[in-house]
Structure 1
Amino acid sequence: MTINKHIQKAPFFASECKTIKHQLGEACVPRNPQRIIVTDESILDAVVGLGFKPIAAAESNALGNRGRQFGNKIDGIISIGKESLLNLERIVKLQPDLILGFEINENDYEILSKIAPTVSIEFNEIAWKEALQRIGDILNKSTVSKQLLNEYQQRVEKLRLAILQNNNKQKVSISRFYSGWNLTQFQNQFSFPVRILEEVGLSIPEAQQKLSNSSQSYISVGIESLNLLDADVMFVALDPGSAKNFQKYSSHQFWQMLNVIKNNRVYTVDSGYWIVGNILSANAILDDLSQYLLSR
């Protein structure tokens, strides 16, 4: 790639960095990074949660937008393109001192590691807590990551108890609607949001569990299979621009026949944090669960 000749990687003395082994090799990571770039949305969630503000981040392939979990914490962050098509020239110009990402493509890594110390971390959407701890260790914020997880666990236990006291241990369905895609889907027990449901004592319907396997965190659903979405409560995660597709489904007679619709227990939520993420998204989901399940 022609950008190679423009790369000038900043030198680090051994005392200024620590060696981190990762899935694609090892990197000498600065002990106090100032110009972090992240290559995907989930790692952005973790890094911001730990108190850092990256100078730039890639935009998600899977999510339609950045959810409210970030608040104003990422205002001014520069885009480096989509996760699947990083703008490498822009990354060079930004002169990062550390690049972090989940499952970085090997070809990208070969270039990125010449720009700045680059760490590629294994991704498992239900192992987000372990990922937060790993990132905390890399960024010398292990105490902060433990504190964040302790505070999160306290919230989980409080919400679990409140749900139990309200005799509110119901089956919950999580569906998602995309822009430009005719199908919908439900998130299964191998997904980020359903794992959070399980932590607070909730679960998805048995029909959904039986169709699920660990190779994929969701199951696609057409109009003819809408009965699979039925539950005591349904959260509908909407992508920007998905209104037309959602309208097609929600106006269909099969949708209107669902008990969850008849009982008026459908709540629309933001797919920006309900599908995949880390500590900020997890806490935002707890906010929604508290609002919609305990307010009745």
Structure 2
Amino acid sequence: MRHFFYWLILGILGFSLLTACNHHTPQNISSLPKQPTAECRMVKHTMGETCVPIHPQRVVTLSSCTLGNVLALGVKPIGTTNEVYVEGNSLSSINGKTDGIKLLGLSQPNLEATLLLKPDLIIGVDWFKPIYPLLSKIAPTVLGEIDFINWQKHLSFVAESLGKQEVEKALWDRYYQRIEQLKQALGTRYQGKKISFITLGSNQLYIDSKNSFSGSILSDALLQRPAAQNLDSTYGAFPISFEELEKADGDILFVTTYSSGGKKFLEEKQQEPLWKSLKAVQENHVYYVDFMSWAATHMLGTDAVIDDLFKYLVNTP
């Protein structure tokens, strides 16, 4: 990250990719000869081995988690996909770092638009296996495994693909330095306190478990979770009914929504007695955070989550 609902998105994505591959193959891509790369090195990935440029200049990323990691490693892609739409600007979560990057699609890349960008390297995740043959005709393409509860592995894959392993090490050094600064700033203020994090979609509520993207950051900061959230789950999150809302309660409650349907669902539930009965609500300790940051599953997202923890847990009275 990311969440249970991402596997629903993944199912939609897989269908759309297969449909695109079977019915919308641009002739000018399928007939392209494989382009040799003069100076390259081999990278292992889910589709085998590919010789990638030693110093790529025109990188395309497939998926928001790949995009965030590439940006964190100091490389600005020329184009990207972004599987989750955010109202107003689907790339808004990267805090202005996406200016000038062409959006190539949400559920799948527009192959002809990708071809026109003339990339020299395409990096993505294994969702895009069905169109790998077409992508590899456009440019050397590497697809890494994506497991949202082991999001750190994708950062390492992207770093290897770009030859940025030293930068990756520096990013982790900085991450743990920020975590230590946060722990020192928190002191004993939240000792014994429970920190809850929930996401609302259209007519559905999800709880983040301990092994989610945001959960891993909270754990590193030694922040405790409510009993119902202090566990690992297959997808890093799990749905609950609104009648089970007490599982979402805590001394501090972080809330996010995805899609306009999530915002409407939250507004409706905020008027109900069950929501108003939550301890965090009654004590005015509910904080609304950005979905694309707290579900990021990339290194740029860690900064956004840590910034929010400083903002609401350290600097808020």
Same fold (TM over 0.5): yes
Flag the 1:156–1:120 CA change in 2: closer, same or farther, 3 A.
same
What residue in structure 2 maps to residue 50 of structure 1?
73
Displacement after TM superposition at 1:96 (Å)? 1.1
Among 158, 161, 164, which residue is 2:181 paired with? 158
SS at 1:18 equivalent: strand
Contact 1:66 1:272 in 2 (8 A): no
Corresponding position: 1:186 with 2:211 = no
Aligned mates of 1:231, 1:105 — CA distance in 2? 39
Contact 1:67 1:270 in 2 (8 A): no
Among 223, 240, 246, which residue is 1:227 paired with? 246
Contact 1:129 1:149 in 2 (8 A): no
For 2:40, the aligned partner's letter is C
What residue in structure 2 maps to residue 30 of structure 1?
53
Contact 1:163 1:169 in 2 (8 A): no
Corresponding position: 1:195 with 2:216 = yes
Aligned mates of 2:36, 2:74 — CA distance in 1? 25
TM-score of the aligned structures, taking structure 2 as reference length: 0.85
Structure 2's unaligned 5+ residue stretches are: 1-24
Flag the 1:188–1:49 CA change in 2: closer, same or farther, 3 A.
same
Among 37, 40, 44, which residue is 1:21 paired with? 44
Within 5 Å, which residues of 2 pair with 1:230-269?
A: 230-241=249-260, 242-269=262-289
Flag the 1:228–1:47 CA change in 2: closer, same or farther, 3 A.
same
SS at 1:267 equivalent: strand
Paired residue total: 289
Among 200, 203, 214, which residue is 2:233 paired with? 214
What residue in structure 1 maps to residue 199 of structure 2?
176
**Larger CA deviation: 147-156 vs 232-241:** 232-241
> In the TM superposition, what whole-angstrom CA distance separates every residue of 1:39-72 from its partner, at most 9, and x where no partner exists?
1000100000111110111022386665765222
For 2:238, the aligned partner's letter is I
| RMSD of equivalent CA atoms | 2.0
Flag the 1:193–1:101 CA change in 2: closer, same or farther, 3 A.
same
Aligned mates of 1:11, 1:156 — CA distance in 2? 44
Aligned mates of 2:92, 2:130 — CA distance in 1? 33
> In the TM superposition, what whole-angstrom CA distance separates every residue of 1:204-230 from its partner, at most 9, and x where no partner exists?
211233xx5532211112221111111
Structure 1's unaligned 5+ residue stretches are: none
Displacement after TM superposition at 1:6 (Å)? 5.2
